[in-house]
Amino acid sequence: MTITQLQYVLAVAEYQNFTLAAEKSFVTQPTLSMQVQKLEDELDVRIFDRSKKPISITEAGKKIVAQAKNIVNEAKRIKDIVDQEKGFIGGEFTLGIIPTVMPTLLPMFLKTFINKYPKVHLVIKEQNTESLIRNLQDGHLDAGIAATPLDIEYITERPLYYEPFVGYVPPSHRLRNTNTIQPEDLDIKDILLLQDGHCFREGVVNLCKASRKLEDEHFQLQSGSFETLVNLANEGLGMTLLPYLNTLELDDSKRSNLKYFMEPPPAREISLIYHKKELKLHITNALKDVIASVVRGAIKFQDVNIISPVSQK
């Protein structure tokens, strides 16, 4: 039994297809199949039922796959220990970021991070919270950046910053002449929202203390773009709420439509999240330090009221 054989078993278990598993493992299909067969012969047990399509895992195979994950992870941990002892910060690191954070946060920290840690090969993927959680659990991501709290037993959450909500109120809106706004001023019926699946939408709905099912909408909008919401607000179709960092890039004509909340403003908590069994913690720590340092100066709000509970997706 070898670590390589266990890695092949995990690949087949994930993709339920020998050809695809071989492709993802960067080996030929005959090589992978032979090694899996060799392991099954050694253990005298069938791990996979090849008679079904897609391939299924036998009951014994499920137990073997679960243990294989532990063994492969612990083997990888040895390299991590050596790297940390040597003070080496490098290698591939896969990071997932939710869509409502990525466009504003990534340009703030990426150049600084790659300049400071040139030996880290950072692979960045935009994913919603549900996908982040699933990929962290499956080992396809080393860490993620998401709105928290998530309250998931196997996920560690390390807050990076608290991002206030800001109102975008066009001249025709009923709140236009209000100097500062409060959550009580908001009416979910005239707030433009992101499409379902975005945690920022859930935060706004919770802030308005409204039902997620909005019955009286005149139209249904399915957009993941804050820019679209701003443009629609300018057309007199309502107001919207923006994360604070998204307001920094607005031009002067649009910035004049911003309305801030009374202190303390409602805000969302943005955290670096990773599996509690995660490896590469030396890279995770370096990433957290860089992000926290660059964001600290951009967000000057000190006292914020975290929206809770926020249903994350």
- Can you give the CATH number for the domain in which 134 is found? 3.40.190.10
Q: Is residue 287 within 8 Å of 123, Cβ to Cβ? A: no
Give the chain's domain count: 3
141 and 94, same structural domain?
Answer: yes
DSSP 224-281: --HHHHHHHHHTTS-EEEEEHHHHTT--HHHHTTEEEBSSSPEEEEEEEEEETT-S-H
- Can you give the residue range of the structural domain that contains 239? 163-266
Asked if residue 183 is part of any domain, the answer here is yes
Which pTM does this prediction carry? 0.73
Kindly state the tokens that stand for 267. 């805000």
| Segment 127-150, tens digit of pLDDT | 999 999 999 988 889 999 999 999
| Segment 62-111, tens digit of pLDDT | 999 989 988 887 887 787 777 767 777 888 899 999 998 999 999 999 99
116 and 44, same structural domain?
Answer: no
155 and 119, same structural domain?
Answer: yes
Asked if residue 313 is part of any domain, the answer here is no
| Segment 266-306, tens digit of pLDDT | 888 999 999 988 778 889 999 999 999 888 877 764 445 55
Asked if residue 312 is part of any domain, the answer here is no
Distance CA 24, CA 19 (A): 9
Find the mean pLDDT for residues 234-259. 90
245 and 194, same structural domain?
Answer: yes
Asked if residue 311 is part of any domain, the answer here is no
128 and 105, same structural domain?
Answer: yes
Please give the DSSP secondary-structure letter assigned to residue 256: T
**Whether pLDDT at 51 is above 50:** yes
pLDDT band with cut points at 50, 70 and 90 for residue 209: low
Give the end of a domain, one of 53, 84, 115. 84
- Cα dihedral sign, 78-79-80-85: positive
179 and 156, same structural domain?
Answer: no
Residue 16 vs residues 3, 19, 33, 42, 54: alpha-carbon distances, Å: 19, 9, 12, 21, 6
**Whether pLDDT at 225 is above 50:** yes
234 and 171, same structural domain?
Answer: yes
261 and 182, same structural domain?
Answer: yes
